[in-house]
A and B are shown apart, each in its own frame.
Chain A
C-alpha cells in the first residue's frame, strides 16, 4: 500500500539556518503530495502541495518539489525563524479522480528553532 517515510526528528536549528526535511513516498498511482504543519496546541494546517511531477509547491518561504524519479518531496526553507517551530508532516493522496482521497501521513518531524 501507500506509505510516506519522513526524516526522523527532532530537528533543532538556529535562527536563519537552512532547513531540509526529507520525505520519500511509495504509491501505486500518481499521488498528490502535501506538507502539513502543526503548531503547538493547534490542528494540522496545509503548508504547501504539488499535484504532479516537477511541480513546486511554495508558501511562507517553504518550498518542495515533486520528484517522481526519486519519489521524493523534500521540504526546504532558506532561513528559518523561531515562529517556524512546529511539527511538519509529509502526506500523499492518490488521484481523487479515482476516488482514493485519504491522506497517508509520515511520522512527522518536530522542528525547534532557537534564537
Chain B
C-alpha cells in the first residue's frame, strides 16, 4: 500500500540553525500539507500546497518557515532560524485529486528538538 515517508525520523539542532524536513508524498497525490504537534498539545495545521504554491497557511507559518517541492517526489519544510518553541513532531500529509480528496494520508513524523 502506498505511504507517505518522512526523513529524518529525529533531528536535534541548536537554536538559530536552519533545518530542512523532508517528505515523500504518495506518488499520484497533488495536495500536500505540513502539521505539527508540540508535546502534549493538539496537532496543528501549518500549510497546504498545491500546484507549486501555498494554498493556505496558518498564523504559525511565519517568515521563518518555507515549503518547496524541488522535484517530482519530495516536499520539504524549511525552518530558517529555529527557536526553542519549534520543538515538536512535524507531520507531512498528502491527498489526491479525486472524490476522496478530503482524506489526508500522514507520514510517521519527524521529531525536532531545538536546544
> Is A46 in contact with B105, judged by CB distance below 8 angstroms?
yes
Per-residue CB proximity of A90-112 to B under 8 Å, as 1/0?
01010010011111111110000
In this assembly, does A49 line the interface, its C-beta being within 8 Å of a C-beta of chain B? yes
- B56 contacts A102, CB within 8 Å? yes
User: Could you tell me the dominant secondary structure of chain B's interface residues?
Assistant: strand
Let me know if B105 and A96 touch, CB within 8 A: no
The bracket for how many chain B residues form the interface is: 20 to 34
Question: Which residue of chain A is the closest to B3 with respect to CB atoms?
Answer: A43
Residues 48-66 of B, flagged 1 when their CB comes within 8 A of A and 0 if not, give 1000000110100000000
Asked whether A96 lies within 8 Å of B102 as measured between CB atoms, the reply is yes
The number of residues on chain A lying at the interface, defined by a beta carbon within 8 Å of a beta carbon of chain B, is 24
Residues of A within 8 A of B4 (CB): 43
27 contacts between A and B (CB under 8 A): A32-B102, A42-B108, A43-B4, A43-B6, A43-B91, A43-B106, A44-B91, A44-B93, A45-B106, A46-B103, A46-B105, A51-B102, A89-B43, A93-B102, A96-B101, A99-B55, A101-B31, A101-B48, A101-B95, A101-B104, A102-B56, A102-B58, A103-B35, A103-B43, A105-B42, A105-B43, A108-B42
